[in-house]
Chains A and B, each alone.
Chain A
Amino acid sequence: MITDRITSFLGVAPLLLLVAVGLSIMLIDAFSKDRSGLALTTAMSLFAAAAISGAIAVRGDLVAPAQITRYLAVDQLGLFFDVVICAGAGLSALLAGGYLKEHGLERGEFYVLLIFTAFGAMVLARAVDLLSIFLGLETMSLGAYALVAYRRTSARAVEGAVKYFLLGSFAAAILLFGSALLYGATGHTDLAGIRDAVGSGAADPVLTILALVMILVSLAFKVGAVPFHMWVPDSYEGAVTPVTTFMSVAVKAAAFAVLVRVLAGAFGDEVSMDLFTGWTPVIVILAVVTMAWGNLAALAQSSVKRMLAYSSVAHAGYVLVGLAATYELGPTAVSAVLYYVAAYTVSNVLAFGSLVLMGSKGKEAVSYEDLAGAGRRHPAAAAPFVVGVLSLLGMPPTAGFFGKYYVFSAAVQAGMTWLAVLGVLASAVGAYYYLKVIVYLFMREPAEDAPIAVPMRSYYVAAALLLSGYYVLRMGVTPGRYLDFAISAATTFLG
C-alpha cells in the first residue's frame, strides 16, 4: 500500500520536510524578488518540523526503513534534539527576519543556509555511524562557516569566519583520523558494532583510547569547551547576531547529542570504563576548566555580545558536568544534560534576541555602554533582556534554574559533590556579569555625546522574544512535562 510506504518514513519526516523546504526556498528565491515572507516561511517550517518531531515522540511512531536506521537513529533522543534544534533555528530565523531587514542585509541564501545547517545539526544528533557523524558535522559546519561570513563587508565577520573555518577544518580532520583509528581498532563504523567490539575485548585498547581522544577533541571543539574554545568569541562576535544565536544553541546542541551518543552510548559499558580509568576524569577536567575560564573571561568583556559568547562557553561547562555523571548515574544524568540543553536554548535565544531588539538601523547595541539607561527609556524592550540573563544566571522561576539544578544534583548523586560546588561557585561569578547588564539597563545614564541605540520595531523579533520568554518561564514554573520528555529520551536511549 502506498500509505504504508509513506508512513514507513515517518521517523525521518522532520529531516525530509526541512530538505523539501530548503530546496523550495532556493527555487522561489531564484524567481521572485519579494523576500518579505522568507523569514516567516523558514521559521514556520522549522517550528513545523519541531512539532512533527514532538508528535512522533508522543505517539511513538518510531519507524523508518533499516537502510536509514543503520546510519540515522530514529529514537526518542534524536527526536528530542530535533525539537531543540528546530526550535532554536526557528527562533533564530524570526530574529533574522527583523535584524536583516533593519540592517539592510536580507538575502535569500541566508534562510536556505540556516535550514540546511539545521538539517546538518539534526543529522549529527541522530548519527549512529562514524560516516553519518562526519557527514552531519560537515554539513552543519560548512553552513555555519558561510553564515558567520554572511556580512562579508565587515572585517570582524571575515576574521571570525576564517578562524572558525581553519580551526573547524582541523577539528574535522582530527575527527576523521580518530574515526579511521577506531575502525582499525574495532572493525566497525557503526556505534553499536563498536560498542560490541570494545565490550567483548576484541578491540585494540590503546588504539581505541587514542581514537576516542581524537573524537573527543573534535567534539569538544564543536561545543566550545576550553581549551578548544579559541574560535568562539571571535566568530560569535563577528557573525550577525541571529547567526550567533543559532550557533550558540543549535550547533552546540547537536555536538552535545553526538557526545552523549558516543560516550554514554558506544563507550558507556564497564569494559570501556576500565580502559585506564575511563572517560569520566577527562570530561570532569574539561568541565572544570571550561566553567572556570568561560566565567572569568566573560567578566573582563566590555562587549555584551562577546560576554554572551564567553557565557556560552561557560554553559558548555555546566552541560559537561552532567555528562561527567552519566556513567555513574545513567538515564538521570543524561536527562539532566538534555533538559539543560533545552533550557539553555530558550534562555540564550531570549538574551541574544533582546540584544538584537536593542539596536536599530545605523546603531547596533553591542557594548554595555550602548545599553546604558535603555531600560528606563524603553522598559518593554528591556524586560525580555532581564528575564533572559536571569535565566542564564539560573534564578528561579526560570528555565535556567531547573537546568542547573538537575545537572548539579546529578553530579552530587554521582558522588562528585565537589564538582557541583565548583559549578555553583562558577555560576556565582557569572552573576556579576549577568547582573551588570541589568545595572546598565536601569541604573546608568549614557555618556553625553555617545550615540544612543534605539530599540527596533519588528513583529518578527517581538514574536521570537515572546515565544522564547514564554518557554523560559514555562520551563521554569512547570518543568515536569519537558523533563518527562528528556527522561523518556534518556531511558529509551540507555535502556
Chain B
Amino acid sequence: MTGAGATLFVVTAIFAIIGALITVAARRPLRAAMGLLVHIVSLAGMFLTLNAHLLAALQLLVYAGAIVVLFVFVIMLIGPEAETGPIEGRLVSRSTAGALTLAVFLVVATSVGGFDAAWIAVDADFGTVEGLGLAIYRNALVPFELISITLLVAIIGAIAIARSPTE
C-alpha cells in the first residue's frame, strides 16, 4: 500500500470505528442513523484503498443513499424523539457480555495483528465494472440467483404478514 493509500486507510478506519460506536451507543435513533451514515461513507473510502472503485460508488449509492434514507424515514415515522430506556439486565449478564466482547475483540485484534498473509496479485480488471460483472454473473452466478429467491421469500413473507387479516 502506498503512502497516500495508507493515510486514507487510517483516516477512514478511524472514522468507521467512530461511526460504528455512535451507531450502537447513541440514545437518540436519529443520531444512531447519522453514525451509521458516517460508518458507511468511511467504508466506501476503505473500498477505494482496496482499488474497488465501483464497489465504493455502489456503497455510497445504495447504502448511504437508499438505506440510510430508509432508516431516517422510518425513524421520522415513529417519531425522532423516541429514546431507548436505560439498558435493562442484571449486573451478572451485563458483565459477562462485556467480558465476552472484550475477549473476542482481543483475540481478533491479536491474531489479525500477528497475521502475515501473502499479497495476492489481482487481475488487471479488478474492481472495474467488467471485473465485477464477470465475478457476479460468471463465477458467482449460483449465489446471485439464490439471492433472488431469498429476496422473493422476503417479499412474499412481508406481504403475507402485512396483508389485512379480513381478506
Chain B residue, CB-CB nearest to A143: B153
Contact A146 B157, beta carbon cutoff 8 Å = yes
Q: Which of B22-57 contact A (CB under 8 A)?
A: none
A70 to B139, CA, bound (A): 9
> Which among B117, B150, B153 has the greatest number of chain A C-beta atoms within 10 A?
B153
Contact B157 A145, beta carbon cutoff 8 Å = yes
A184 interfacial by beta-carbon distance below 8 Å: yes
Please name all residues of chain B whose beta carbon is closer than 8 Å to the beta carbon of A107 when the two chains form the complex. Answer: 160, 163, 167
Contact B142 A113, beta carbon cutoff 8 Å = no
> Within the complex, which residue of A113, A132, A153, A187 is in contact with B153, where a contact is CB–CB below 8 Å?
A113
Return B13 CB to nearest CB of chain A, in Å.
16
Contact A70 B142, beta carbon cutoff 8 Å = yes
> Within the complex, which residue of A139, A185, A187, A206 is in contact with B146, where a contact is CB–CB below 8 Å?
A139
> Which among B112, B158, B159, B167 has the greatest number of chain A C-beta atoms within 10 A?
B112
Return A148 CB to nearest CB of chain B, in Å.
10
Q: How many A-B residue pairs have CB under 8 A?
A: 93
Q: Which of A289-332 contact B (CB under 8 A)?
A: none
Chain A residue, CB-CB nearest to B146: A135
Return B156 CB to nearest CB of chain A, in Å.
6
Contact B160 A110, beta carbon cutoff 8 Å = yes
B141 interfacial by beta-carbon distance below 8 Å: yes
Contact A142 B165, beta carbon cutoff 8 Å = no
Mark the stretch among B58-66, B70-78, B103-111 that contacts chain A: B103-111
Contact A131 B140, beta carbon cutoff 8 Å = yes
Given the known interface contacts A26-B156, A153-B165, the answer about A210 and B104 at a Cβ–Cβ threshold of 8 Å is: yes
Chain B residue, CB-CB nearest to A139: B150
A187 to B146, CA, bound (A): 23
Given the known interface contacts A116-B153, A204-B115, the answer about A132 and B159 at a Cβ–Cβ threshold of 8 Å is: no
* Contact residues on A (Cβ < 8 Å of other chain), bracket: 35 or more
A206 to B114, CA, bound (A): 11
A71 interfacial by beta-carbon distance below 8 Å: yes
Given the known interface contacts A204-B111, A207-B108, the answer about A116 and B142 at a Cβ–Cβ threshold of 8 Å is: no
> Within the complex, which residue of B112, B146, B165 is in contact with A123, where a contact is CB–CB below 8 Å?
B146
Please name all residues of chain A whose beta carbon is closer than 8 Å to the beta carbon of B158 when the two chains form the complex. Answer: 146
Contact A135 B141, beta carbon cutoff 8 Å = no
Chain A residue, CB-CB nearest to B149: A139
Please name all residues of chain B whose beta carbon is closer than 8 Å to the beta carbon of A160 when the two chains form the complex. Answer: none
Contact B111 A146, beta carbon cutoff 8 Å = no
A68 interfacial by beta-carbon distance below 8 Å: yes
Please name all residues of chain A whose beta carbon is closer than 8 Å to the beta carbon of B140 when the two chains form the complex. Answer: 71, 131
Please name all residues of chain B whose beta carbon is closer than 8 Å to the beta carbon of A71 when the two chains form the complex. Answer: 140, 142-143, 146
> Within the complex, which residue of A149, A181, A210 is in contact with B161, where a contact is CB–CB below 8 Å?
A149
Residues of A within 8 A of B (CB): 19, 26, 67-68, 70-72, 107, 109-110, 112-113, 116-117, 119-120, 123, 129, 131-132, 135-136, 138-139, 142-143, 145-147, 149-150, 152-153, 161, 181, 184-185, 187, 204, 206-207, 210
Provide 9 A-B residue pairs closer than 8 Å at the C-beta atoms, listed in order of the A residue: A107-B160, A113-B160, A129-B143, A138-B150, A150-B161, A152-B161, A207-B107, A207-B108, A210-B107
